[in-house]
Amino acid sequence: MNDQGVYHGKPPFFKRVGNWFKNLPGRLNAWVRSVGAKFARIPKKAADKGREIVSSPKPVKASMCLMGIGQMMQKQIVKGILFLLMFAAYIVYMVLAGGRAIYDFFSLGIVTANPWLGIEGDDSVIMMLLGILAFIITGLFLAVHLANIRDARRTYEFVSRGNPAPGIGKSIAGMFDKYFYVTALVLPVVGVLIFNILPIIFMVFLAFTDYGGNIVESGALVSWIGFDNFAMLFGAKGLGSTFVKILGWNVLWAVMSTFLNYFGGLGIALLLNKKIVKGKRFWRAFPVLAYAVPGFITLLAFKFMFSNQGPINYYIELFGGTGKLFFGIDSRWSARLIGWLVNGWLSIPSSMLLATGILANMNTDLYEAARIDGASPWKQFIKITLPFVIFATTPVLIGQFMGNFNNFGVFFFLRGGLYCDGYFLASDTDLLINWLYNLSISKNYYSIGAAISIIIFVIAAAISIFVYVKSPSYNKEDMYR
């Protein structure tokens, strides 16, 4: 019998992984060809844009050359003057400070400080910061300039249909009516650019300099060094060896912590959802009380419990055993296991509360139908409960993974300040975020710390996006509506 088109279920996991790698060359080839096709279309797009500019009306061409002139040509005097003033303000800024800031950004200073001769010298870090700010201001100016051109084009099209040119009052009314979303977002966008984007860009550029160590202490000039910091991190010795070890442990820690916390909370929620369990309110409140205690207090309490003179060692010796160094220099796996335990104690309650709310909205008719069909409790969990819960909590699950990947507090409070042999300024339980702290805050290796930050972002973002794209929340949204 021909069974073509009949669904036989998913292939085994390892077969799917093998097929993914088997098809990888074909996907890469298709991606390269798509990129090549996009580049091949660039000349045509540039030619079309050139013809569009040439054929533009005079007011639009005037606005391209000088902000506000196109509006003035169409009798929008006040609006044209406002655009012209913004243009003048940018020119004044570039002449007085912006141009110098951009030049200093590339040079990072030329005068070295000399306290003996009373020479103050250039501050490379401030120059970099002011240069980035000048680029951001230039980007904002270009955005306003494009808005000026679009406004001139819209006004021309409006007037060409026989309408009078809108006055300043009507333009302001349009800003708070039709284009209110743009008006409302101007200040938040500027704030995000200055207080969020600027520090991030500064950190990214810092990764390509030699800022750190003796340069910080002596006040010497900073230089651009390209990808040297990344080369050291991916090298075979020193920083490279430490980076590879910590990265492997960091990924293992994040995956296992997310798995334990998520399924630990789901397991408790399923247990408390059973009708035979008595005192559900008490058992649900107990984890919440543990969750309500500040995390650093819980971490310090666990550190004391497992310390050399703590209660755990006290009872071990009381029953005739030998005390353990749970956080000693050679206690790699005992410290890691305690870290998973403590992190679970802190995180499982939140997963339990989340799963409890989701389970309360489950359709009980599905379980009744599954029992009639003879499905075991395990089959019901795998086929009904787990897919629904994962679909509803995938964004939270990804957030938990990100939080665990960058979990600074657990090993900082449990084992902070300990350096192990074979590691550069780190221990065998430190995560990348802890190592970043040791390098940048404790030892002033700011440029290497910035490079590690970029790598952390790339790895965590890549894993999170991959998991989300492959999850039912992305692929099977209509199924659970």
What φ, ψ does residue 25 adopt, rounded to 5°?
Answer: -60, -40
Residue-wise pLDDT for 238-294, tens only, equals 788 889 899 999 999 999 999 999 999 888 888 888 877 777 777 777 777 777 788
**Residue numbers in the chain where pLDDT is lower than 50:** 1-2, 4-7
Distances (CA, A) of 156 to 65, 73, 163: 16, 10, 10
What gap in Å lies between CA 385 and CA 363, rounded to an integer? Answer: 10
Q: Which residues are CB-contacts of 371 (< 8 A; sequence separation ≥ 6)?
A: 380
Give one DSSP letter per residue of 288-343, joined into a string.
HHHHHS-HHHHHHHHHHHTSTTSHHHHHHHHTT-----TTSTT-HHHHHHHHHHHH
What gap in Å lies between CA 427 and CA 332, rounded to an integer? Answer: 9
How confident is the model at residue 88, as a pLDDT? 95
How confident is the model at residue 169, as a pLDDT? 75
How confident is the model at residue 1, as a pLDDT? 43
Q: What is the 3-state secondary structure (H, E, C) of 61-95?
A: HHHHHCCCHHHHHCCCHHHHHHHHHHHHHHHHHHH
How confident is the model at residue 364, as a pLDDT? 76
> Can you name the residues that pair with 209 across neighbouring β-strands?
224
> Can you name the residues that pair with 119 across neighbouring β-strands?
114
> Which of left, alpha, beta for 213 (phi over 0: left; psi -120 to 50: alpha)?
left
Of 157, 165, 188, 169, nearest to 60 by C-alpha is 157
Calculate the average pLDDT of the chain.
83
405 touches 461 (CB < 8 A): no
Distances (CA, A) of 410 to 220, 345, 382, 413, 454: 36, 11, 32, 6, 22
Predicted model pTM: 0.76
Q: Which residues of 57-71 are buried (b: 16+ CB within 10 A; e: fewer)?
A: bebbbbbbeebbbbb
How confident is the model at residue 6, as a pLDDT? 47
Of 264, 281, 270, nearest to 367 by C-alpha is 270
